[in-house]
Amino acid sequence: MSAQVARISVERASKRFSSGSLTVFDGLDLAVRDKEALCILGPSGCGKTTLLRSMHGLVPLDGGRIVIDGAEVRAPRRNVAMVFQHFGLMPWKRVRENVAYGLELAGLPKATIDERVEGYIEMVGLRGFERAYPNQLSGGMQQRAGLARALAVEPDILLMDEPFGSLDALTREILQDELLRIYQLAPRTMVFITHSIEEAIAMGDRILVLSARPARVRELLQVDIPRPRTVASVIAHPRFIPLRDHCWRLLRERAA
Amino acid sequence: MTLHQVGVEVDESRAEAVPASRWRRLRPGDWAVRLGTIALILGVWELFGPTLNKLILRPPSDIVRAFFELVANGELQDAMSQSFRELFGGLGVALVLGLVIGIASGRWRFVYNAIDPLVSALYSVPSVALVPLIAVAFKSIGDPPRIATVALFAIFPILINTQQGVRNVDRQLLEVARSFHTSERRLWTDVIIPSATPYVLAGVRLAIGRGLIGMIVAEFFIGLVGLGYLIIAYENVFRIDRMFVPVIVVATMGILMMGFVQWLEGRIAPWLKKEQ
């Protein structure tokens, strides 16, 4: 499987909300290996998203540290890209311009930008919609654009913040399959936040199950279902039901 | 005005305007209703006005005749060039100052705190009450105090809407921009300015109406010139037909200029009208 090198390590990370009374997580440790897909699964409001935003340097920690490639994270890095639950597309930019956004900010030559934008729009299945504005697209198509924007900068690390959480069930499953296919083309380090057990099993090489706030690591599970995967093949796999039941029990037990 | 546009009025306290995304393109049926209403009012006025009060309710046909008389003797053109100089000068000043102060106070807390009480105070005082003060301050009855009056009337909707537009930038998009390593300059061009644009344009639409009021008030109080002079002069001699001509010119200007801004919005903010 993947090399045992930690690409991202979270060391005794603590975060309280500004009032100080609400502890989001305290003394959290975890390591993300190179080129693995790690799913972080936890109940709503357990601080998964805050943890992911900290990994990207978007919110500062109150204690501990997060290290990527040997350097402590203080601000977003160029080799890390994020996909947002709310899509985060600029309503005033067409699909093409949204996908090109990160590349323009990176100051790449125009020819490179054009080539990459075209390639990733093709990859996520948005050909023909380059000139559409986001509000002309369905949620699923908007997130395809959000995905293309993140992939286009060709990051070493992809941070996925419940990317399919706001989509309807059918669209979600279609996009899960798309992501599995794209991931297969170029496996890279991916941290995938979700509150869906099925999604965590389908997407992850490992699943980190967090408890309700303050978030603690309940368990780190290996998903021993081979790739290439599709959602259907994962659900049909004999390991799926035992894994799902195990996650269910972990999530349902109240933190002691 | 359509119902949708009414939703854009800034409430007298301090609310930001609703972004213009709910405006819809007018359909042929809408135009039929709009023109039909005007035709109905004019028809009733023409037929029944003179029977109610022959002196004051001069029929529209008399006003049309008066319009051509004033054009023929050149009075209307002179008044219009005088008035529009004040109007566009004042709106220009209001636009520049409103944008600069609005952006600065929307972005920096210090500027906001520094100007907010002043803006609230000046916005609450009826602008008319300050006009004599402007005349005195400029020590003149020429164009500068009248331009300043138009600017005073027009600046607040632009300033407050710009400020709210800048303050209400979607925090999630700011985070997206940071996530992709934006520079401060690109943050403005990619996120802040486009997201404030509909607010600014709604402010400009309101400013046009207030600017036209300011123009006439300035001409009443300071020097008596332009379209304001024509209104007073013909009212004093009971030429109500002629008095209505500048009034209708002002109303037409309001319609044309607001329509222009709406058209402009379609050009510079095309994403707003693309919904469905």
How far is residue B170's CA from residue B38's CA, in Å, rounded to a whole number?
A: 41
User: Which pLDDT value is given to residue A211?
Assistant: 87
Q: Is residue A127 part of a domain?
A: yes
* B206-245 burial code (b ≥16 CB/10 A, e <16): bbbbbbbbbbbbbbbbbbebbbbbbbebbeeeebbbbbbb
Q: Are B183 and A105 a contacting pair at CB < 8 A? A: yes
Backbone angles phi, psi at A72, to 5 degrees: -70, 140
Question: Could you tell me the pLDDT band of residue B6, with boundaries at 50, 70 and 90?
Answer: very low
Nearest Cβ partner for B179 among A56, A90, A91: A56
Laid out side by side, the sheet with A71-72 consists of A23-33, A6-16, A63-68, A71-72
Comparing CB atoms, the residue among A58, A101, A135 nearest residue B275 is A135
* Number of Cβ atoms within 10 Å of the Cβ of A97: 18
Amino acid residing at B262: Q
Cα angle B6, B7, B9 (rounded to 5 degrees) comes to: 70
- Nearest partner of A207 among A234, A177, A174, judged by Cα: A234
> Is residue B4's pLDDT more than 50?
no
pLDDT band at residue B16 under the 50/70/90 scheme: very low
Q: List, as one string, the DSSP characters of A198-249.
A: HHHHHH-SEEEEEPSSSB-EEEEEE---PSS--HHHHHHSTTHHHHHHHHHH
Q: A13 in helix, strand or coil?
A: strand
What are the tens digits of pLDDT across the range B108-141?
999 999 999 999 999 999 999 999 899 899 988 8
The Cα B3–Cα A241 span in angstroms is 56
Residue A173 located in a structural domain: no
CA distance B76 to B63: 13
The reply to whether residue B194 touches residue A84, judged by beta carbons under 8 angstroms, is no
Residue A190 CB partners (closer than 8 Å, separation 6+): A36, A37, A38, A157, A158, A159, A160, A183, A203
| DSSP-derived secondary structure letter, A135 | G
Instruction: Suggest the residue from A90, A93, A103, A166 to mutate for an interface test with chain B (most B CBs closer than 10 A).
Output: A90
Which is nearest to B12 in space by CA: B186, B183, B157, B144? B157
Interface ipTM: 0.91
Give B28's contacts (C-beta < 8 A, 6+ positions apart).
none
Which pLDDT value is given to residue B25? 64
Q: Is A115 left (phi over 0), alpha (psi -120 to 50) or beta?
A: alpha
Residue A165 to residue A196: CA distance in whole angstroms: 8
Beta-strand runs (E) in chain A? 6-16, 23-33, 37-41, 63-68, 71-72, 80-83, 157-161, 189-194, 206-210, 217-222
Domain membership of residue A130 as a residue range: 93-154
Q: Which of A58, A92, A136 lies closest to B194 in CB terms?
A: A92
Reduced 3-state DSSP string for chain B: CCHHHHCCCCCCCCCCCCCHHHCCCCCHHHHHHHHHHHHHHHHHHHHHHHHHCCCCCCCHHHHHHHHHHHHHCCHHHHHHHHHHHHHHHHHHHHHHHHHHHHHHHHHCHHHHHHHHHHHHHHHHCCHHHHHHHHHHHHCCCCHHHHHHHHHHHHHHHHHHHHHHHHHCCCHHHHHHHHHCCCCHHHHHHHHHHHHHHHHHHHHHHHHHHHHHHHHHHHHHHCCCCHHHHHHHHHHHCCCHHHHHHHHHHHHHHHHHHHHHHHHHHHHHCHHHHHCC
> Is residue A18, in this structure, part of any structural domain at all?
no
CA proximity to B57, closest of B241, B187, B266, B247: B241
Task: Report the residue of A86, A92, A147 to disrupt the B interface, i.e. the one with the largest count of B CBs within 10 Å.
Answer: A92
A134 inside domain:
yes
Is A170 inside a domain boundary?
no
Tell me, yes or no, whether A145 lies in a domain: yes
**Residue carrying structure tokens 């996009």:** A175
CB contact under 8 A, B271 and A86: no
The whole-number pLDDT of residue A26 equals 86
The domain tally of chain A equals 1
Q: What is the mean pLDDT of chain B?
A: 88
| Domains, in order of start, for chain B | 73-268 (1.10.3720.10)
**Range B54-63 burial, b when 16+ CB lie within 10 A, else e:** eeeebbbebb
Please state the pTM of the whole predicted model.
0.82
Q: Note whether A1 and A205 are within 8 A (CB).
A: yes
The number of residues making up chain B comes to: 276
Q: Chains A and B: how many Cβ contacts under 8 Å?
A: 55
- Distance in angstroms (rounded) separating the CA atoms of residues A146 and A151: 9
User: Is the preceding omega at residue A91 within 30 degrees of 0, hence cis?
Assistant: no
Position A254 scores a pLDDT of 61
Q: Distance between CA atoms of A150 and A144, rounded to whole angstroms?
A: 10
Closest Cβ opposite residue B271 in set A81, A82, A92: A92
Q: Does any CB of chain B come closer than 8 Å to the CB of residue A58?
A: yes
Per-residue pLDDT of chain A (256 residues; tens, 9 = 90+): 444 678 999 999 999 887 767 888 888 999 999 999 999 998 877 889 999 999 999 999 999 999 999 899 999 999 999 999 999 999 999 999 999 999 999 999 999 999 999 999 999 999 999 999 999 999 999 999 999 999 999 999 999 999 999 999 999 999 999 999 999 999 999 999 999 999 999 999 999 999 887 888 899 999 999 999 999 999 999 999 999 999 999 988 765 4
Number of H helices, E strands in chain A: 8, 10
Would you say residue A126 lies in a domain? yes
pLDDT-wise least confident of A19-28, A115-124, B164-173, B205-214? A19-28
What residues in A contact B197, CB-CB < 8 Å?
92
A214 preceded by a cis bond (ω within 30 of 0): yes
CA distance B208 to B253: 9
Distances A73 to A14, A37, A67, A76, A216 between C-alpha atoms, Å: 14, 20, 6, 7, 21
